[in-house]
Amino acid sequence: MFDLLHRPGEMRERSLEIVVPEPFGNAVIGVKAASVLDVDLRMESLHDGILVTADVEGVASGECGRCLIDIEQGVEVEIQELFAYSQDEAFEYEVQTDTIDLEPVIRDAVVLSLPFQPVCQEDCLGLCPQCGVRLLDNPGHEHEAPVDPRWAALAGLEGLGNDEPNDVAGTSTGATEEKR
Ligand SMILES: [Zn+2]
Ligand SMILES: [Zn+2]
């Protein structure tokens, strides 16, 4: 790109494959280290710096936030940044000793594009709260409420002078959970 510097009007286009040096992502999903991002790069020489426009594509992997299966999803971001000659703080990025460092720009754009709660599909039903199976794999999945004959008998006593019906209900719920 050296022939671009300080030559306003000059322009270069290039396709690059960038190997990600460290994971680009958040706690639940990201582009893994050593995976490849395809970058279509366009560099334009302006009076105050190099304007970089890039289309970045890759694949992020992570875990569905509801049912916890491994997922992969495409990453596609567009970047446009001016790398300035000036060291003025007004410019976020600058040309450094005749080079530009694209990595932080690409990393920030990729990380920002990723969801904080990725899902395997929009209508993922998550896991059964009782037995933990993935509900999408088990359509119609349900549990019959186990009926303990002793509690059934007590329920029949309701309204017959039981002092604390609320307690009975509370205890019953606890017993149901223990017996699954
Ligand atoms: Zn899911
Ligand atoms: Zn279940």
Q: For residue 1, what pLDDT is reported?
A: 59
Q: How far is the CA of 138 from the centre of ligand 2 (A)?
A: 9
Count of other CB atoms within 10 angstroms of residue 82: 17
71 C-alpha to ligand 1 centroid (Å): 8
Is residue 156 a contact partner of residue 164, using CB atoms and an 8 Å limit? no
Distance from Cα 139 to the centre of ligand 1, integer Å: 14
Residue 159 Cα distances to 77, 83, 171, 172, angstroms: 65, 79, 17, 17
Question: Pairing mode, if any, of strands 29-31 and 24-25?
Answer: antiparallel
pLDDT tens per residue across span 7-16: 999 999 999 9
Distance 118 CA to ligand 2 centre (A): 23
pLDDT at site 56:
98
Give percent above pLDDT 90 in the chain. Answer: 62
Whole-number pLDDT of residue 173:
46
Instruction: Identify which of 53, 51, 45, 57 has the alpha carbon closest to the alpha carbon of residue 17.
Output: 57
- Ligand 2 centre to CA of 171 (Å) is 22
Q: Express each pLDDT in 83-102 by its tens digit.
A: 998 877 778 888 887 788 89
